Structure formats: C-alpha cells, structure tokens
Structure 1
C-alpha cells in the first residue's frame, strides 16, 4: 500500500532521514520504534506531505506522493494524527470533527462517519458542544483521532498517541487503535511505549539516528536481545 524508497530528508543542513526504505501492506499495523529524535516523526511528516524528501520516493498505491501538498495526500486517503494532538482549542468538539471532513462533499457518508466516531469515542459525544481546549489530554487525543477518521482514511498515521496519558487511558486508546484497524484501516504507528506498540503491531521497524537498523515481525523484534536491551526495559 505504501512504499518509502531510499528517502533523505533535511532540516536546513541537518540530515534527519538517511536512506530510509520501508513498506506497509494493506490492513497491517506497522510500528516505528526508536529513541526521541531518531527521525520517526520526520518520517510520518514526509509521508503526509508536511516535509519534502530531498531525494528518494514515497509511493502510495503505486503512485508517487513525495513532495505533494498535504491536502492532496489527505484526499488520496492518508490522515496524520500529529504528536501533541493539535486540536483547535477555541472550537467545539463537533466543529473539530467537522473540520476533519472539510475535503468531503458526501453528506450521508460524513454523518455515518461522525456516528462511527461517537461509537469509538463515546466521551466525545458527551462533550460535543464543549471547547476542545477544555478537554483533558486523553479526550483531546480521542478528538485528534476522531478528526483524522472523519477524512475516511485508508492509511492512518499516528504519532505518539499515548504521550502524557494515564496508563488506563493508554489501554483504552490502544484498544481503539485495534478496533480502527479491524474495520479495514491500515495503521503506521510511532510510539514511545515499545512494549505496547509491539503488542498490537504486525511488523515493526527500529529507527536510530535517521536510519532503519532493524525490521521484522512484531514477535521477532519483541524477542530480539538488542531491542529488549534498548527499548523494552531489558527484560
């Protein structure tokens, strides 16, 4: 479904991604694990059109999307839930969700998706008229995910969905990620909690200083000594 081939990405003179190659198949949950600053978020931003690769290519369903504008990429079926949630604080929950569908014209489909979001996140239904800035961190994360789903993505990019959340809420968010995947949405997940990410993923890539240093099934990486020592707390 998605193929990233040998991409190099720079912030000014600093090279953030160095010849990264990976692929994601339809229906999978693929996770990227690695330390802060390894280049994981940069990779998601490059796929969603927020950053342009200097060279190499990003292919989505066989077509090159590297360097295309972000909204053209959303139109093609890729939604990105950025790190730090980025909800529109002064708008209500409902207005935030409606914004997620701003490129769509199919009113009936939008209504259907809005109802699906309420089923996945009942808390949002209770807070419909509330300003997004007054929600808790967990509720804002739910809203950011719900808003991304309103574009009816085929591929959902999730950047650190558990960041700053209480353990119980993290469990809930991860259960919902699995539910979203079970309905046919492919997921690329960046997550600091490597144990949790590997527990729901099909496959994983380990990113270190802008390079992919390991790749395999989630089971292979969970049992890899190197991954255990570096990312799974050594046990």
Structure 2
C-alpha cells in the first residue's frame, strides 16, 4: 500500500533522515519506534510533504506521491493526525469535524461518518457545540482523530496519540486505534510509549538518528533484549 524508498531529509546542514526505506501493507498497524530526535515525526511530515525530501521516493497505492502538494496527498487518502493535536481552538467540535471532510461532497456519507465518530468518541457528541480549545487534552486528541476519520482515510498516520494523557485515557485511545484498524483503516503509528505501540503492531521499525536499525513483528520486538533495554525499561 505504501512504499518508501531511500527517504532523505535535511534541515539545513543537519541530516534528519539517512535514506530510510520501509513498507506498509493494507490492513496493517505499523509502528515507528525511537527516542526523541530519531526522525519519527520527520518521517510522517515527509510522507505528507509538510517537509521537503532531499532524496527518495514515496509510492501510495501504486502512485508516485513523492512531489504531490500536501492537500493533494490528503485527497489520495493519506491522512495525518499531527503531534500536539493542532485542532482549531476557536471553532466548535462540530466545525472541526466538518473541516475534516473538506475534500468531500457526499453529504449523506459525511453525516453517517460523523455519527460513527460520535460512536467512537461519545464525549465529542456531548461537547459538539463547545470550542475545541475548551476541551481537555484527551478530548482534543479524540477530536484530532475524529477530524482525520472524517476524511475517510485509507492510511492513517498517527503522531504520538498518547502524549500527555493519563494512563486510563492512553488505554482508551489505543483501544480505539485497534477498533479503527479492525474496521479496515491501515495505520502507521509513531509513539513514544513503545510497549503500547508494539503490543498492537503487526510489524514495527526501530529508528535511531535517522536510520532504520531493526524491523520485525511487534511481538518479536517486545521479546528482543536490546529493544527491552533501550525502549521498554529493561
């Protein structure tokens, strides 16, 4: 579904990604694991063309999207939920969700998908007239995910969905990620909580200083002693 080959990104003189390659197959949950500064968020931004690639190629569903504009990439079905949520704070929950469907014209489908978002995130329905900025951190993460789902993503890029959340909310968010995947959406997950991310991943890639240093199934990496030591607290 997604094929990334020799992806290189520079920030000025700093080389953030060193020619990384990986694949995401339809229906999978793939996790990118690594410490701060490893290049995880840069990878997602490069896929969405929010940051420019120095070298490399990105193919999505057989089409070369390497140089597509970010809004054109959204229209292909590659949708990102950014780190830090970045909801529209002065707009209502309802308006945020409507903006998620800005590429669509099927009003009946949009209404149906909004109802599904409210099923996944009942608190958003309770607060649908509230300004996004008045929501709690967990509710804002739900809104960011709901807004992305309104685009009917084929591949959902999730950047640190558990950041700053209480443990009980982390469990809830990961349960919903699995449910979204079970319903047919492929997921590429960047996550600092390596244990949670590996537990739900079909496969995972370990990033260190802009390089892919290891890949295996999530279950195998949880048992890997070097991964335990580096990312799972021993």
Measured against the shorter chain, the TM-score band is: over 0.9
Structure-2 residue corresponding to 1:63: 63
CA distance in 2, matches of 1:50, 1:82: 11
Structure-2 residue corresponding to 1:119: 119
Superposed CA deviations along residues 127-175 of structure 1, whole A, max 9, x for unmatched, are 0000000000000000000000000000000000000000000000000
Structure-1 residue corresponding to 2:79: 79
- Deviation of 1:100 (Å): 0.4
After TM superposition, the score normalised by the length of structure 1 is 0.99
Structure-2 residue corresponding to 1:107: 107
| Structure 1 vs Structure 2 CA RMSD | 0.6
CA distance in 2, matches of 1:70, 1:25: 22
Structure-2 residue corresponding to 1:196: 196
Structure-2 residue corresponding to 1:37: 37
Structure-2 residue corresponding to 1:146: 146
Query: Is the partner of 1:143 in helix, strand or coil?
Result: helix
Q: Determine if contact 1:52/1:66 at 8 Å carries over to the other structure.
A: no
Q: Determine if contact 1:34/1:40 at 8 Å carries over to the other structure.
A: yes
Query: Is the partner of 1:17 in helix, strand or coil?
Result: strand
Structure-1 residue corresponding to 2:14: 14
Structure-1 residue corresponding to 2:184: 184
- Deviation of 1:67 (Å): 2.3
Q: Determine if contact 1:49/1:70 at 8 Å carries over to the other structure.
A: yes
Structure-2 residue corresponding to 1:131: 131
Structure-2 residue corresponding to 1:232: 232
5+ residue gaps, structure 1, are none
After TM superposition, the score normalised by the length of structure 2 is 0.99
Structure-2 residue corresponding to 1:222: 222
CA distance in 2, matches of 1:55, 1:87: 31
Q: Determine if contact 1:51/1:67 at 8 Å carries over to the other structure.
A: no
- Deviation of 1:92 (Å): 0.3
Structure-2 residue corresponding to 1:26: 26
Structure-2 residue corresponding to 1:168: 168
Query: Is the partner of 1:41 in helix, strand or coil?
Result: helix
Structure 1's consecutive aligned runs of 4 or more residues displaced over 2 angstroms after TM superposition are: none
**How many residues are aligned here?**
234
Query: Is the partner of 1:158 in helix, strand or coil?
Result: strand
